[in-house]
Chain A
Amino acid sequence: MKHAAKFKFRLYVADNAMNSVEAVANLTAFCRTHLPERHEIEVVDVFREPKRALADNVLMTPTLIKLAPPPLRRVVGTLSQSVTLQQVLGLEPFAA
């Protein structure tokens, strides 16, 4: 872990729908395991801030957007498969 690039996430949720609650829990757990001390999560509720959802073109909830480091990535779903998430975030080398 030579570079300490910080991961910035934005997670769109739909109030406290099942999927959304799960996604928040999964993401938090994932970050704690794989990205300790170098992550930042912003949770946006589409019901409270629909305009932001529109701006980000979010249609399905939950949607995770990785804002940093580039490239921008989107993951839809409860984020239950941590392996997929690892691949998406380019974390395979560290996974082993």
Chain B
Amino acid sequence: MISLGSKKKHASNPSQAKAPTGIPGFDEMTGGGMPHGRTALLVGGPGSGKTIFALQFLVYGAEACGEPGIFVAFEETPQRIVANFQTFGWDLQKLQPKKLLFIDAQPSPDLIQSGSFDLGGMLAVLGERVREMKAQRIVFDALDIVLALMPDGASKRREIYRLHEWLLAHGVTAIITSKDDGDETGATSTQPFGFMQFMVDCSVVLNHRVVLGVSQRNLRVQKYRGSAFDENESPFVIGKRGFDVAISRVLGRVDAKVTNERVTTGVERLDTMLGGGYYRAASVLITGFPGTAKTTLSGAFAEAACERGERTVFVGFDSDGTEVIRNLASVGIRLGPHAKSGMLRMVSARTITGSAETLLVRIKAIANEHKARCLIIDPVSTLSKAGNELTAHGVAERLIDWSKSDGITLVCTSLLDEMANQTEVGTPLQISTLADTWIHLNYLVQAGERNRGLSIVKSRGMSHSNQVRELILSDEGVTLTDIYSAGGEVLMGTMRWEKESAELAANEMAEVAAKLKLLNLDAEEAVLEVRVKSLQTELMAKQVEKTLLNRATESREGELTRGLHRVRELRGADKSLAKRK
């Protein structure tokens, strides 16, 4: 039946009460914590964090759940435990002795044994204490120490039974911690704890390994009666606040809320390229070779975020926070005032100590503490330096998952090794596939200079420009400009500028020439007009002349005719002659 698993998961929560441990991650893994009123076994090698886990369970119970607890210490004196745990910021003194009681149960070194014995005394004492304090949680730390005193396996089993019955009778939620023999297959093979594993309701195995020189801690829930749990080994870290278990997304977990809200990138033209900026709670990856202004671009984002009044954390692995502030000020990105006002928190870790997991936990803790809405990690590829690639990849995945679910806009830069791969295949951590927006910065070496080119490789869920833009850093800030591309050649930097100015000059020349031509034409036109005018005048003169001439001719002819008539009249010539004429 395939659906059994999920059915169980849903059914278990109401039916079985859980005692939360307050350990981030663990409660999620087990669907609420330890089985309430039952016994859990915590097995691990030396230094695997058993005591911390157990004590955190008690402290959380006392502080947050109002469940007083008793810590039975077989291995260390209570004074030493309290001193050791001061560093986690847990105020154990305040809780003692009303809510948290330490019982020193170390077998004294001068103890002499003669014949068989049992733990009845201890249980009687504890029973009294449980009643007095109304204790609901109890921890037996390093029970193996006292069991080692038992002469044979049978009496060990008997005492475990005795303890178990006592626990059941008192209905307290118990954790028994015990060493294992470093046996990877779990403690099932080793007696008598193997036997105990079957007896308890929940069993958790802690281990501590060194992989490629980096320490890695893992936690695994081996069994949990009546409850579904995450069965995989999960890395955990003992951080400043105690235990922190890294969990990956469990199937069926509620998806993170998605918004359409955009946040500016801090560079105006980049916003335009992305059609408005990054999405809120998106993860942005900026890749590029060293010196391609990855930090600058993320700095611009940080400044813009702070100006919007969003609390921001800048984690830098390359240089110190103050250095970053100084360096970015040279390109007009002023982070100093924001850092001073507390809006921006600069965290720098030049070298890596601890595993990638530790790093993630620290980053998470800082971000939570700062209530960050924007987080910048510069560069995230540092993660792969610590430990093996596989864990680093897991960490990167969880980083993105966590930031998304917390609504934090994450900007990561990632270094691409120039020698390794020139092609934009992907980042060492394979974040490129996980990131929502991937901006790639590149160099173009041409005509004796290097110029920075910016392109958007991908940006999920938004239209984005396919153009390569030139990234220009100046005193005024970061700007993008179109590159000059014509006739198949791409020009940047000085060459682009030269080409552009040459074009400008040519344009000016053409303009002037056109003006000149216009003037010439005007002049010619004027000349022609004048000519037309004079010709017209001439024409008129000629016409007048012609008229005059006509008139003169007419009058002369008239005179002549009149003269002939007169002569004819005088001579009395024939009318017919005159008529013929």
Contact = CB atoms under 8 A, between A and B. Distances in A.
Interface of A: 12, 14-15, 17, 19-20, 22-23, 26, 46-47, 50-51, 53-54, 57-63, 73-81, 84-85, 88
B113 A75 contact: yes
Interface string B135-150: 0000000000010010
B120 interface: yes
A60 B118 contact: yes
13 contacts: A14-B124, A19-B115, A46-B120, A46-B121, A50-B125, A50-B129, A54-B125, A61-B118, A62-B121, A73-B110, A73-B112, A75-B114, A88-B114
Q: Tell me if A's interface is mostly helix, strand, loop or mixed.
A: mixed
A79 B114 contact: yes
B117 A78 contact: yes
Given A46-B121, A60-B119, A74-B108, A85 B127 contact: no
Interface of B: 103-105, 107-108, 110-122, 124-125, 127-129, 146, 149
A19 B118 contact: yes
Contact of B121 (A60, A73, A80): A60
**Closest CB pairs A-B (n = 5):** A78-B115, A14-B120, A77-B115, A50-B128, A61-B121
Given A59-B119, A60-B118, A84 B112 contact: yes
A78 B116 CA distance: 6
Contacts, number: 102
A76 B128 contact: no
A15 B127 CA distance: 14
A53 B121 contact: yes
A12 to B, nearest CB: 6
B536 to A, nearest CB: 137
Contacts of A62: 117, 121
Contacts of A58: 121-122, 125
Contacts of A77: 113-117
Among B103, B116, B122, B125, residue most surrounded by chain A Cβ atoms (within 10 Å): B125
Contacts of B115: 19, 22-23, 26, 77-81
A76 to B, nearest CB: 5
Nearest to A58: B121
A57 B104 contact: yes
B97 to A, nearest CB: 12
Among B116, B129, B146, residue most surrounded by chain A Cβ atoms (within 10 Å): B116
B118 A17 contact: yes
Contacts of B111: 74-76
Given A80-B114, A85-B114, A14 B108 contact: no
Nearest to A59: B122
Among B110, B121, B149, residue most surrounded by chain A Cβ atoms (within 10 Å): B121
A4 to B, nearest CB: 25
Contacts of A22: 115
B128 A54 contact: yes
